[in-house]
Structure 1
Amino acid sequence: MQALSLTDKNPFSASILMATQSQKIKFPSVDAYDGTTDPDDHLAMYKHLMLTTQADDATWCKYFPVTLKGLAQRWFSQLPTSSIHNFNELVVLFTHHFMAHRQEKKSSLHLERIQQCPNESLRSYVKRFNNETLQISDLPDRVIFDNFFRGLDEDSPFKFQMARQRVASLNELMNEAERWIHAEEVCAVKRPKDKGVSSSSKLQSNLGHQSGGNDRKRSSTWNIEIEDSSKKGKGQKKKKCSYTPTVEYTKDLFQVYKEVSKDVPIEDPPPINTELELRDKSKYCEYHEDVGHVTDDCFTLQ
């Protein structure tokens, strides 16, 4: 990349254009700004990269137009000639012109909206919460700690354990969360989602597994001895009757997905397309590990 020269008709003052460059600079690569995104993000990236060059103020000015394209490049070329005398002036003009594209500056109040959904894993909640904190500047550790703990589900065993241990610092809380997540994933066991499954259904399920994965239905008839309740007395013979258990299928699609994924590599689900602000945060999808809809209504899983 080449910086602007004195022969170019441009907004920089003569003092900037005539400044000598003390050393040859290898300009770092940076995505060009087209005027349609947050100007603060582009400025932050440009400043971080230019700090590695140890260049002077004039060089910072002359190389900045190289990072513009489209609408942003046309804006710069239309600035009055010799109207910019230092990099700070360029920053003010740049940010004021593209201020409409600045993202909303979030505050700690936004953290109060992050709540762990029922059946949401601790890993998913930590991920959502941390992503939100990254969008808020100058957050005190105590504010992060209070909002994280408050957002945990009331029935969360992790929340109970942290209260029991009297964890009081953010660093300690996050270390405990990391250990808890690791233990959960290492010691994960199969847990049937539906309660009240009859013992006959469990036995029938085991028989199906022993058949080698055959999809054909298999029924079994057992002889059961029962005592005739109408006749009591010693020496009374027990009657035999036949009983065919009824097969009940209680596993949902997500349960099947979890079991299959243990043996067969399956790609991660695509992200939910709906913007986060438009989703129903009271509904949680275990398949996507995100909010917006319940697992049973997940179109991707079906």
Structure 2
Amino acid sequence: MLLLQVSDAVMCRAFPTTLRKAAHAWFKSLQPRSIYSFGQLSDLFQKYFVSSRSRRKNSASLLNIVQEKNESLACFLGRFNAATLEIDNLDESVKYTAFLRGLRPTSKFAFSVNKSPPGNMKALLEKANKYIQAEEYLETHRGRRGEGKEEQKKRSRELTPPQGKKPTKRSKYDERRPKEPFTWKNLTPLNAKPSQILHEIKENKALQWLDKLKSRPNKRNKDLWCHFHNNHDHTTDNCESLKRAIEALIKRGQLRKFVAPKEDRQQTPPVMEERKDREENAGIINTISGGLAAGGSSGRARKAYAREVYITSQHPDKKSKTVPVAAITFSDEDSKDIQTPHEDPLVITVRAGNFDVKRVLIDNGSSAEILFFDAFKKMNIPTDRLRKMDTPLYGFSNHPVAAEGIIALPVAIGTPPAQANFILDFVVVKVPSAYNAILGRPALNQLQAVVSTYHLKMKFPTEHGIGEVKGDQTIARQCYVTSCRPKKAKKLDSEEILI
């Protein structure tokens, strides 16, 4: 309905004719003679139904769209394109990266685009359309030849136990207790611990719970507890029955999100106490070495710092005592509002100087606090306040990086009153990064902080109890998307740097 050059009275009378259901019921609930203009009516309507507005999503939401096990490329592409329409100003490089990341790793199309990358989204869509046409062609001819029925028969033979002798009392345990010896090679590699998977799938009706152990009660280890058997004897992560139950669900097409990608799979268990690590360590990857930690920036100071541990081990200081603090623990309540499972880093916001600095990465692999030059400039700090640093940092691209200098800044972490306030020395470096700063071991040790990347939270003792700071999962994934962009596109908007 389009009305031009009409009075407010006409607009108010015409307005209810456009309403239905809840909106019409709201209009009827208005008190008589309570509306004096159409502007007042429209304001009341917008305020009442503000929650009904559709909210635009950001580019990080594309990372949650993945191709399911039996989903065709056409269906996945349709879902992906529908999601992109809900995002404003979507960068083509982000769209390209998110689409590749969402493809099923075992699909032929994923193999093809990784072998010969199209380079841009337009070429990728053209290649996808060709594969979709090929899939539809094969599906049509497969139905004519009855290949679908053959596959169904093959699957039924795999799931149906062999016929023969009558089942004995032990036959119902055959699936859980196979005749072949238990080995790690028989299991599908996982990206999470069995205890974590059990916590996620405990409501799954297909999971067969075991509450009885065959071992004698007097011979069980009372120090170990299994949540799957609900009894003592071993830990949940070492429970072979739980691993077989998880494997059975995977064979049925479930728990796909817990299956490790091919490139991350290992044929050996993650923990083998009986095997000694005979391979020589070739170094540490993705850490930052250098800075003011471990004695200082000079070689002599670092050597003296290294000798302290030998002196302390031979002649411990009995007088040194730490102030007792309350135990720091994490529970399921700490992971509330966190999307799991995830592989996101802990990215927080801290108060540095007079700025609230977002995109601060918590990295206990870094021996220095890092402030990237772009963020340093936006803090309007004069460069003459930088102190000279003679030695470089190591860890960026495996090459030494010269520092612009060192700056001391007051830092506040947490929410008052349980807030930590201290001075930190940041090493300023001019290196492209999706983050504004990095807090490394010196800051974490000074805080006495305990970090849980699973809960995306850091806790630390203060005079007013245990303080905590929660990571921003959305910003962490945005940093990931930014890191995947080409180098020319890694420049962030100023409003995204500091608030």
- The TM-score normalised by the length of structure 2 is 0.26
Structure with higher helix content = 1
- The TM-score normalised by the length of structure 1 is 0.40
Q: Which has the larger radius of gyration?
A: 1
